[in-house]
Amino acid sequence: MIPVQDVEGQTIAVLGLGRSGLSAAKALAAGGAQVLVWDDGATGRAAAEAEGWELRDLTGAGAFEGVALLVVSPGIPHLYPHPHAAIANALRAGVPVDNDIGLFFRSWATEDWDQFSGMPKVVAVTGSNGKSTTSALIHHVLRSVGRPVQLAGNIGRGVLDIDPAEDHSVVVLELSSYQTELARAITPDVAVFTNLTPDHLDRHGGMGGYFAAKRRLFAEGGPDRAVVGVDEPEGLFLAGQLAVGPGDDRVIRVSSGQKLDGPGWSVFARKGFLSEYRKSRQIGSIDLRAIPGLPGAHNHQNACAAYAACRALGLGPRQIEAGFADFAGLPHRSQIVAEAGGVRWVNDSKATNVDSAAKALQAFDRIRWICGGLEKEGGLDALHPHLGRVVKAYVIGREAEGFALRLGPGAEAEVCETMEVAVARAHAEAASGETVLLAPAAASFDQYDSFEKRGEDFIARVTALTD
């Protein structure tokens, strides 16, 4: 645990009692704060009270009298589409609002660091797609070379649940826009921006607010190195804002699909080969095509970002390549579930938006595609250029018929509604050399509690048919 610093004797309120909220409450108490907690759900409140936490309804009048700080869990809106009643109360009372990420950055460094021969580092990864795989890949490579490393934030452990720093250690944080937008302190040593595509727009008041939330990691964080994906206009703009000139190697530009020119530092992948250039000279390369844990152009972009971050931490190209070689990938992200009868079964349940599903479709040929769910705003038009790879779509979800119609005439589609039916139909029709791909292009909440539960259902049904 990381006890929160400079809170001794203060009364601090915590709103939201999920994983991050409870870990924040414990870390605040360990730092000497008097902690008040609240959750909108009766179950969460009852569990907290059973553990001995003091409850206070933060939505009521006078709730913030004597309170020095409100700590908010990431799923709770603080501005758009409208602030939670408790947050509005705090702001009216002049009480600052923070989250567990802000508490971590203000508490991570301690006096013990004076005895270290090498300073601990924090690598923070954000972006719309690929940040989980990029974070996990950085973590894996660092472990493979024996560097003390922990993975936390939006993946792995809660950020305040990790162990205190040790000599030369690294913390890799995956950070969502919800986390970067609200954290009052946010100072990583290396910051990574993977890409930007429309998502969570209701929470950020549109695309500009969404980009602004991601940009805080760089503009306010002041990292020593910034790794920036430049395949979208926002990333290209961000890299330009951070660099003081063309040769500024504090910014490492990364791309999947285009060669990056210029005197600066860049890492890019083309036709399955990763290349590193610095001062207009190639200084490293990796053949990514044979690495099973990194299939497709979207994973090659993740590999470029992870490679650049590891290089910024001082690792050599061959060390990184060795770490890539045995990376198994993450569950629910281009995860190979089974290969039977010449048919490959791939679970990409994390492809919850159109852009991530499009990238999954580009990674394979001759696809039998399981898709559908709670459709997000923006429509399905961005999928149409990739439907030539799809032999047939098997559509699930409560609105499966409408989803199938919006795919248009470019894809044969069967309305299956449930995962059970979709997997059974794909199994009956798939031929050798084809891939059955779960890449829903939609949220899971019409049928499942999470994308993980959706992916687990897919795995269980595939396993039952192929074992």
What one-character-per-residue DSSP string does 107-137 give? Answer: HS--GGGGG-SS--EEEEEE-SSSHHHHHHH
pLDDT above 90 as % of the chain: 85
Annotated binding-site positions: 127-133
CATH code (residue 461) = 3.90.190.20
The CATH code of the domain that includes 89 is 3.40.50.720
Domain boundary among 98, 131, 148: 98
Q: What pLDDT score was predicted for residue 129?
A: 87
Residues 6+ apart with CB under 8 A from 404: 372, 393, 395, 413, 414, 415
Q: Is residue 145 part of a domain?
A: yes
In single-letter form, the type of residue at position 462 comes to V
Confidence of residue 359 (pLDDT cuts 50, 70, 90): confident
Confidence of residue 385 (pLDDT cuts 50, 70, 90): very high
126 and 214 fall within a common domain = yes
If asked whether residues 219 and 287 sit together in one domain, one would say yes
Q: What is the CA radius of gyration of the chain?
A: 23
Residue 4: inside a domain: no
217-276 residue pLDDT tens: 999 889 999 999 999 999 999 999 999 999 999 999 999 989 998 899 999 999 999 999
What is the pTM for the complete model shown? 0.85
Residue 293 lies in a domain: yes
pLDDT in the model for residue 408:
86
Query: How far, CA to CA in Å, does 53 sit from each of 19, 36, 59, 174?
Result: 15, 7, 18, 29
Total tally of structural domains belonging to the chain: 3
- Domain end point (choices 305, 325, 345): 325
Instruction: Give yes or no for a contact between 99 and 90, defined as CB atoms under 8 angstroms apart.
Output: no
Q: Report pLDDT for 281.
A: 94
Query: Does residue 5 lie within any of the structural domains?
Result: no
* CA gap 176, 178 in Å, rounded: 5
The tokens describing 290, both together, are 């044979």
Same structural domain, 401 and 273: no
Percent of the chain with pLDDT over 70: 100
Picking from 270, 269, 267, the residue whose alpha carbon sits closest to that of residue 283 is 267
160: three-class secondary structure by DSSP: coil
- Verify that 314 and 349 share a domain, yes or no: no
- Which is it for the CA torsion 135, 137, 141, 146, positive or negative? positive
Asked if residue 81 has a cis previous peptide bond (ω within 30° of 0), the answer is yes
Q: How confident is the model at residue 334 (pLDDT cuts 50, 70, 90)?
A: confident
> Which pLDDT tens digit goes with each residue over 40-50?
999 999 999 99
Q: Is residue 164 part of a domain?
A: yes
Q: List the CATH number of the domain containing 193.
A: 3.40.1190.10
| pLDDT confidence of residue 202 | 84
**CA-closest candidate to residue 99, choices 178, 43, 46, 31:** 178
Where does a domain end: 77, 98, 119? Answer: 98
Q: Looking at the structure, tell me whether residues 187 and 215 fall in a common domain.
A: yes
**What burial letters (b/e) apply to 221-255, b meaning 16+ CB within 10 Å?**
bebebbbbbbbbebbeebbeebbeeeeeeebbbbb
Residues 282 and 383 in one domain: no
Average pLDDT, the chain: 94
Which residues are annotated binding-site positions for ATP?
A: 127-133
The CA-to-CA distance between both ends of the chain, in Å, stands at 42
pLDDT of residue 298: 83
Q: 233 and 369 share a domain?
A: no
143: in domain: yes
Structure token digits, residue 382 = 């961005």
Residue 183 lies in a domain: yes
Residues 299 and 339 in one domain: no
| Cross-strand bridge partners of residue 193 | 126, 228
Residue 3 domain-assigned (yes or no): no
Asked whether residue 308 falls in the same domain as residue 416, the answer is no
| Helix ranges (DSSP H) in 108-245 | 131-144, 177-182, 201-204, 207-219, 233-242
pLDDT in tens, 364-378: 999 999 999 998 877
Check: CB of residue 425 under 8 Å from CB of residue 414. Answer: yes
Q: Are residues 364 and 440 in the same domain?
A: yes
What is the per-residue pLDDT across 68-126, written as a single tens digit (0 to 9) for each?
A: 999 999 889 999 999 999 999 999 999 999 999 999 999 999 999 999 999 999 999 99
Same domain, 369 and 406: yes
Domain assignment of residue 457, given as a range? 335-466
**Whether residues 285 and 194 fall in one domain:** yes
